[in-house]
Structure 1
Amino acid sequence: MNATTLAQRAYAPTAAPTRSARSIEYDVIARITYRLKTAIESGKLAPLLEALHENRKLWRTLAIDVADDENLLPDDLRARIFYLGEFTSHHTSEVIRKKASAVPLLEVNTAILRGLKQERTLS
């Protein structure tokens, strides 16, 4: 190793590039959606219950965030996200009681991901 190589390493960026909140949000929803999809396809109860729980926590967090008066999203969008949080909570209970399919939850998440992805490409 020579002095030039050592200098390049010493002054190289050490941190990963800063990611936007939307990018992080997209990645979190995508990960949870993938787990939910995989659990549905497996047909096994334990992974499905874990994925449902994680998805319900996600939507509870989103609902709490948009209910905050300090949230900067437009009121109409905040209301729709809050409604989806309520729907997700109720529908998850129905899935757990084996009275409904988990597929609509997957469809909601997928639609949100499409919207976030479109927003990312427009930025």
Structure 2
Amino acid sequence: MNALLNAKRAYSAAKAPTRTPKDLEFEAIARITHRMISASKQGPEGFSALAEALTENRKLWQIFQTDVTSADNGLPEDLKEQILYLAAFTTQYTSRILARKAGVGPLVEINTAIMRGLRSGAS
């Protein structure tokens, strides 16, 4: 009986839903966005956590920028340009937040819009 239970457990893991690249992107953006929001709600005491979340967000946008500029990226040109603009904005705006001259609202809005696009099936 133990062998049967072990076999069921082993094969039940294979039934787990396959995550697409869009699912992985969504999860990464959602996790980082949640961290930014949570840290910003802590006020000055959460600045260290906010800085960590912002650094991760900036790294994620650098990955998007690198992916969009690769020769084998099949996204439409106008979408690539928009992503490059958002990546540049994110980098610059993050510096303002880290200098304590701005809040996270615009970055949260951008990430949320990207998550909506990923969920709606946009390319």
Residues 84 and 7 of structure 1: CA distance in aligned 2, closer, same or farther (over 3 Å): closer
The Cα offsets for residues 31-51 of structure 1, whole Å up to 9 and x where unpaired, read as 111111111111121011011
Structure 2 unaligned regions, length at least 5: none
SS at match of 2:121: helix
- What TM-score comes out, normalization by structure 1 length? 0.86
2:17 aligns with 17
Q: Percent identity?
A: 45
Residues 2 and 70 of structure 1: CA distance in aligned 2, closer, same or farther (over 3 Å): closer
Structure 1 unaligned regions, length at least 5: none
Which residue identity does 1:25 align to in structure 2? E
- What TM-score comes out, normalization by structure 2 length? 0.86
Q: Tell me the CA shift for residue 85 of structure 1.
A: 0.3
RMSD: 2.1
Q: Tell me the CA shift for residue 103 of structure 1.
A: 1.2
1:102 aligns with 104
Q: Which has the larger radius of gyration?
A: 1
2:36 aligns with 36
The Cα offsets for residues 4-48 of structure 1, whole Å up to 9 and x where unpaired, read as x35852873443332111111111111111111111111121011
Once residues 46 and 10 of structure 1 are traced to their aligned partners in structure 2, the CA distance between those partners, rounded to angstroms, is 42
Moved over 6 A (4+): none
